[in-house]
Amino acid sequence: MSEHTPTPWQTRGMLIISEDTKEYLADCETGDVDSEKANTDFVVLAVNAHDALVAACEAIEDGPDDNCAEIHLTDNYQQGLFCGLEDRDIVDRYDACMYGFEKATERVIEWAKGMVEAALAAVKGE
């Protein structure tokens, strides 16, 4: 299978062209002026957002790496986690483990949401 024309693409009326080369890629003329522009804009938005969506899905599938700043526990965060144990009077090791697990899960969910939000921004053209 051959490679597609590199993104980003852009619209020029009802035409889709390569932003870099200005190469003509497609014509979305259908005879319905209202839907033609909407279709052209939608195709370009989807094509240009594709890489961001794939990257977000792959990152979530792979999970954060050891150097992921959003997940990595810095000294300040660790200290806050320990203070959270003290503030909640958690002395049982199983309760402490569960508290740590819950906090870690929250961090991973925040990270994943960030990846999805970035991809959605690309899809929405923001």
Residue 10 neighbours by CB under 8 Å, 6+ apart: 16, 17, 18, 19, 44
Using alpha carbons only, what angle is made at residue 29 by residues 28 and 30, rounded to the nearest 5 degrees?
110
The residues spanned by each domain of the chain are 1-62, 64-126
- pLDDT tens series, the chain, 126 aa: 788 898 999 998 888 989 999 999 998 888 887 888 888 988 998 898 888 888 888 877 777 766 666 655 555 656 666 667 777 787 887 888 888 788 778 888 888 888 888 888 877 777
pLDDT for position 105: 81
Alpha-carbon distance 114 to 71, whole Å? Answer: 12
